[in-house]
Amino acid sequence: MASKTTLNAKNLEALGTERLAQLLIEISTGDAAAKRKLRLELAGAQSPNEAGRAIVKRLTSIASAKSAITWKKRKGFIDDLQTQRRGIIEQVGPHDPEQALFLMWRFMGLANRIIERCQSGDGEVINVFHEACADLGPLVAAAKPSVEVLIDTTFDALCENTFSQYDNLISILTPTLGAKGLKRLRQRLEAFLEQISATAITADQIGRQTTAEYMQSISLRRKQRMAQSALLELADAQGDVDAFIAQLDPWTRTLPTNAIQIARRLVDADRAAEALEILDKADTFEDDWDRPDWQDARITVLETLGQRDEAQAFRWACFERDLSVDYLRAYLAKLPDFEDIEAEERAVAIAMADPELLAPLQFFLDWQSPDRAAELLLKRHTEIDGNFYEYLTPAADALAERHPLAATLVLRAMIDFALIKARSKRYRHVAAHFATCAELAPRIEDFGIFETHDTYVATIKDQQGRKSGFWAYVE
Cα Rg of the chain, angstroms: 33
Partner residues linked to 28 by β-bridges = none
- pLDDT number for residue 465: 86
How many angstroms separate the CA atoms of 280 and 256, rounded?
10
How many angstroms separate the CA atoms of 392 and 382, rounded?
14
Q: What is the dihedral of CA 250, 252, 256, 259, to 10 degrees?
A: -40
3-state secondary structure of 384: coil
For residues 398 and 370, the answer to whether their CB atoms sit within 8 Å is yes
Contacts of 465 (CB under 8 A, 6+ apart): 471
Nearest-CA neighbor of 293 among 248, 260, 321, 339?
260
How many angstroms separate the CA atoms of 341 and 400, rounded?
28
3-state secondary structure of 402: coil
- pLDDT tens over the chain, length 475 residues: 556 666 666 655 665 666 655 655 666 565 566 656 656 566 555 677 888 888 889 899 999 999 998 888 888 899 989 989 999 999 999 999 999 999 999 999 999 999 999 876 578 899 999 999 999 999 999 999 999 999 999 999 999 999 999 999 999 999 999 999 999 999 999 999 888 877 765 544 555 566 676 677 777 788 888 989 999 999 999 999 999 999 998 888 988 899 999 999 999 999 999 999 999 988 655 554 568 899 999 999 999 999 999 999 999 999 999 999 999 999 999 998 889 999 999 999 999 999 999 999 999 999 999 999 999 999 999 999 999 999 999 999 999 999 999 999 999 999 999 999 999 999 999 999 999 999 999 999 999 999 999 999 999 999 988 888 889 988 8
- pLDDT number for residue 170: 96
Q: Per-residue DSSP letters for 354-367? A: -S-SHHHHHHHHHT
Query: What interhelical angle do 292-304 and 308-322 show, nearest 10?
Result: 160
- pLDDT number for residue 40: 59
- pLDDT number for residue 420: 93
Nearest-CA neighbor of 385 among 353, 360, 409?
409
* Domain ranges for the chain: 18-144, 145-243, 248-306, 308-353, 366-474
The one-letter amino acid at 137: G
3-state secondary structure of 100: helix
How many angstroms separate the CA atoms of 312 and 310, rounded?
5
Alpha helices in 305-369 (DSSP H): 308-322, 325-333, 339-352, 358-366
Nearest-CA neighbor of 224 among 175, 286, 295, 161?
161
Nearest-CA neighbor of 63 among 31, 123, 99, 109?
109
How many angstroms separate the CA atoms of 121 and 75, rounded?
10
